[in-house]
Amino acid sequence: MSFTSLTFLFYFFPIAIILYSIVPKRFKNGVLLLLSLFFYSWGDPRYLILIMVSIVVTWFGIGFIHSRRQKREEARFYFVCLLVFNLAILAFFKYYGFLIDNVNMIARTNLQIVDLALPFGISFYTFKIISYMADVYTGKTPPQKSFADFALYVCIFPQIGAGPIVQYSDMLKELLVRRPSSDLFGRGVEKFILGLGKKVLIANNLALIWSSVKTSPDLKMSAMTAWLGIIAFTLQIYFDFSGYSDMAIGLGNMFGFKWAENFNYPYISKSATEFWRRWHISLGNWFKTYIYFPLGGSKCSAKKQLRNIFIVWMVTGLWHGASWNFVVWGLYFGIIIYIEKIKLGKILKKLSPKIQVIYCLLIVVLGWVMFDLQGLSQIANFYSRLLVFGASGFVDGKALYILKTSWKLFVLAIIGASPFVLRLINNIKSRFGRSGYVFLSVCYVLIVLLSVASLVADSYSPFLYFKF
């Protein structure tokens, strides 16, 4: 079940809100947990067993480790065992096929691969479990006494599918005490609707453009078609994931949670380093907190810093997918960020802001080619098309057709990827008062109606991050 499914919008969501609103305060976490387990089991109930095993083993395991915290060596041993247990489950389901494929290729064997469906949200909830383990083990927070509250932290339904990955220490207080208000609920509704519009009205339509480009036979296309296609994907993945994150944060607001923004207009960044501070912020913070800083961060020698960046970005690539293109994509950004840290960053600061933004956009757009296309030969072939080495020259009929039919969509997406819309909304609220709120309410109703109409029409609605 996704937030953009009609089942969620017209059945699960209103029922969840009503049930949560009418139950006494002491039962709200329990109701939210039951709703989350139902939400998680909707696609494949079998994987409910898997997530519950991880939750039960981790909760009891950390309690056991905490009781032996005075015996450091023993506690460390059991902590490592518990960490390996959770990572092994993730590795098996996510990387089993990738490993067998590479063994077959290197050893020239013919090992058969059992087709395993990737459990819903496994990368996200595993990282949340590790966050809890690390925060308790290092003494940052005490162990959770309530099994239900811990289980709720792991599988709360707004976060389970695609994050944001809220660290346990940041969510602990709200698990115990939340102060819901009509203002917070209203902000949540507004956030959810804007996210819904991002995903359904913009991302889904951009996806159609990119799909038509990348599935061209033998990638026969002009340079302009290739550029329009990858720009469409660049905007699609932003509106796809930031839209879903906005919906998640909005849902959290409606249930009394205050979660930080997960995207901060990354396409206005002036460097790759800044871009990754603005893109998928919760994941970036997780990697910094639990991998980069423990390795020594940047407070070490240049060689060790390079090692740390290399490890973090290789893991980042693998986290996104079990394929070599993700590894290459991760290392690509790791190398660029390292170069920016040691020298390029100082040079960039001397240039005009517009040139810095253009530089960053070029780096990011070229990187998305490696992210979405499968196979190094296909990636290289597409780059050749971008550089006008393709058989169709600079422009062809397909490029002209895309421009003619979709230029308004591109303009809307570019504007929407900037802070302009948020500033406009805040301006309307502050300048026009009640009438401004009425106008915005009408706009939000229109977004909902158009989104639902699009979903009812069974429009193309992929969600990129569900596969992670």
Greatest alpha-carbon span in the chain? 72
**3-class DSSP state for residue 302?**
helix
3-state SS assignment for residue 143: coil
263: region left, alpha or beta (phi > 0 left; psi from -120 to 50 alpha): beta
Phi-psi category of residue 462: left, alpha or beta, with phi > 0 → left and psi -120 to 50 → alpha: beta
DSSP 24: -
In whole angstroms, what is the distance from residue 58 CA to residue 55 CA?
5
CA 91/CA 67 separation, integer angstroms: 29
Query: Is 280 among the catalytic positions?
Result: no
DSSP single-letter state for residue 9:
I
Contact 270, 357 (CB under 8 A): yes
Half-sphere CA count of 141, side-chain side, radius 13 A: 17
Assigned token pair, 266: 């990354």
What is the rounded radius of gyration, in angstroms, for the C-alpha atoms of the chain?
23
| Rounded-to-10 torsion of CA 381, 383, 384, 387 | 170
Give the other-Cβ count within 10 Å of 17's Cβ. 15
Q: Which residue has the tokens 């919760």?
A: 282
Who's near 439: CB < 8 A, 6+ residues apart? Answer: 428, 432
Which of 94, 198, 280, 320 is labelled catalytic?
320
Q: Which sequence positions are flagged as catalytic?
A: 320
